[in-house]
Amino acid sequence: MAVRKLSISLDAELAERAARMAADEGTTLSRLIGLSLEDRLILADGRAAMREYEADEGAFTADERAEAAAFNDRLYGASDR
């Protein structure tokens, strides 16, 4: 995999917390940020796919949304909506 070196700026507290998290997880700050960004991009792709599906097939029903929320809660734990 090709690597591109970048320079980014972060809020000081966020940078410190991220550095501690990376150390706790035994990884680098670069890898932690890369994985976090990859997660965000995957979610954005999923939302785009849902919008495309709804444009083609019509809006998800309340039952479909509830089923998806329950599935998400089983995977990631219940969250406030």
pLDDT by 10-residue block (mean), the chain, 81 residues: 93 98 98 96 96 96 95 84 55
DSSP 80: -
Listing DSSP states for 5-66 in one string gives -------HHHHHHHHHHHHHTTS-HHHHHHHHHHHHHHHHHHHHHHHHHHHHH-PPPHHHHH
* pTM recorded for the entire structure: 0.74
pLDDT at position 76 is 87
Q: Residue 21 CB: number of other CB atoms within 10 A?
A: 13
Query: Taking the domains of the chain in order of start, what are their residue ranges?
Result: 26-76
Residue 73 structure tokens? 């809660």
